[in-house]
Amino acid sequence: MPGRPSHVFEWSPIDTFCRQQSGQWDSKFWTSNSVMLNARALSERLTKHVDPYLYPLLFIMDPDGQLFAYSRPANMKQLRDQATLVSMAWKQQEEALNSRAVGETRSPSSPSSGTIYEDSLETLTIESDTANVLVRALQPKLLLVMVGGTPPGRKISLTMTPETPGDSRYPSPIPSRPMSPIEARPSSSQDSLRNLNTQAHALSSSASDGSASQKDVDIMLGALHIQRKRLDKLTGLIREDFRKTGFLMPANTRF
């Protein structure tokens, strides 16, 4: 589609469906405790929730880069490349956490219970010139990945921000300084950017007199904040679905 940035794909997001082992499927599945993960239904749900500019791509993978579900239509080569890079970054940050904890008593995440312990990597935010990539551990062996857009012309060094359960949320939901319009709004095309910049200017005025709504505040906090809110919401939906069905990703996902 003309006007879209090159890193934006035609994909979508995720909630999640698990079914009992008696079901009939025409897509691959993974079993744990007699519960199947319906990859096709997961992909369909992801596709329904995508935003073409804010979070155009969502997928589910394991820490080794094996894909289980993804929004569609999909460029499979680009998707596999994304999964490989996410896997490398996730393992690098896990190793860094482990090395800092040498000599300390740690409780590693437990694949057998699906628990993410307080000193284990739970969220990783990767920022670059062209994309924000947010990674969340749904379970120790199952990752939800969101690839989001960024303001045009952003120039930053590649940064990775890891979080364990209980860490302060990144990015902060409270702005540390006044935000310029180009920071305040995500955009996709020059026309939409002009409209969003105008809106951000107006919102700055309403925020100063205390009349800004939560939506206004979200807009001023910027694309990464909005993407993180969506990631948190999707995580809650998926984990609740897993809880209801009893799905647990096994430690060994290679078949």
Which domains are delineated in the chain?
18-101+108-174+223-245 (3.30.450.30)
Of 17-26, 197-206, 218-227, minimum mean pLDDT range: 17-26
Predicted local confidence at residue 133, as pLDDT: 98
Tens-digit pLDDT profile for residues 55-101: 999 999 999 999 999 999 889 999 999 999 999 999 999 999 888 76
Cα 37 to Cα 20: distance, rounded to the nearest angstrom:
9
Instruction: Decide if pLDDT at 1 tops 50.
Output: no
Predicted local confidence at residue 250, as pLDDT: 84
Predicted local confidence at residue 105, as pLDDT: 53
**Residue with more model confidence, 147 or 103:** 147
Instruction: Decide if pLDDT at 109 tops 90.
Output: no
Predicted local confidence at residue 10, as pLDDT: 27
Percent of the chain with pLDDT strictly greater than 70: 64
Tens-digit pLDDT profile for residues 153-209: 888 999 999 999 999 999 998 865 554 444 444 444 334 433 444 454 455 545 555
**Residue with more model confidence, 255 or 12:** 255
Predicted local confidence at residue 19, as pLDDT: 37
Of 15-19, 108-112, 115-119, 246-250, minimum mean pLDDT range: 15-19
Instruction: Decide if pLDDT at 225 tops 90.
Output: yes
Q: How far is CA 128 from CA 138, 154, 161, 171, 203, in A?
A: 24, 8, 12, 15, 27
Predicted local confidence at residue 230, as pLDDT: 94
Identity at 3, one-letter amino acid code: G
Q: How far is CA 153 from CA 53, 59, 129, 186, 189, in A?
A: 15, 26, 8, 11, 12
Predicted local confidence at residue 122, as pLDDT: 96
**Residue with more model confidence, 52 or 32:** 52
- Give the dihedral sign, CA 155/159/164/166: negative
Instruction: Decide if pLDDT at 9 tops 80.
Output: no
Instruction: Decide if pLDDT at 116 tops 80.
Output: no
